[in-house]
């Protein structure tokens, strides 16, 4: 994992929501509308709309459907979501966690 602790807040790129990847890398190149994708996946159009607008997470159910439809793996979609969630949490909680969590010290062993 890359250590980003030395990168300033201003230098960091904003986290990429899986919905942005879905829209820019899959839907637009294929000329797919949100409605058409929703119909083909068998999900409500609102779900796809919320995902592409970054308002909803990609669930395991949606990941399985996207994987089957686009010929990817469900892991691709779940990893995109996990990475996004972690980057958002890190940006929001890193300082608080540093203040609140005591680093565990390894036990001191005395040689006999």
Domain of residue 26, CATH code: 1.10.260.40
User: How many domains does one find in the chain?
Assistant: 1
pLDDT at 91: 93
pLDDT at 105: 87
Contacts of 81 (CB under 8 A, 6+ apart): 18, 57, 58, 63
Distance CA 41, CA 22 (A): 13
- 41-50: pLDDT as tens digits: 999 999 999 9
Residue 99 lies in a domain: no
Residue 13 lies in a domain: no
- 77-93: pLDDT as tens digits: 999 999 999 999 999 99
Residue 54 lies in a domain: yes
- 49-107: pLDDT as tens digits: 999 999 999 999 999 999 999 999 999 999 999 999 999 999 999 999 999 999 998 88
Residue 22 lies in a domain: yes
Q: Is residue 34 left, alpha or beta, with left meaning phi > 0 and alpha meaning psi from -120 to 50?
A: alpha
Residue 106 lies in a domain: no
Residue 12 lies in a domain: no
Whether residue 18 has pLDDT greater than 60 = yes
Domain span including residue 51: 18-93
Residue 108 lies in a domain: no
Residue 105 lies in a domain: no
């Amino acid at each position: 994992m890359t250590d980003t602790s030395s990168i300033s807040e201003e230098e960091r790129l904003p986290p990429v929501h899986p919905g942005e990847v879905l829209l820019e890398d899959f839907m637009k190149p294929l000329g797919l509308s949100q409605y058409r994708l929703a119909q083909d996946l068998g999900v409500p159009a609102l779900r796809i709309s919320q995902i592409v607008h970054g308002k909803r997470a990609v669930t395991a159910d949606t990941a399985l459907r996207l994987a089957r439809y686009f010929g990817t793996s469900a892991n691709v979609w779940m990893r995109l979501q996990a990475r996004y969630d972690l980057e958002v949490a890190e940006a929001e909680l890193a300082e608080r966690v540093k203040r609140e969590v005591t680093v565990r010290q390894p036990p001191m062993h005395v040689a006999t």
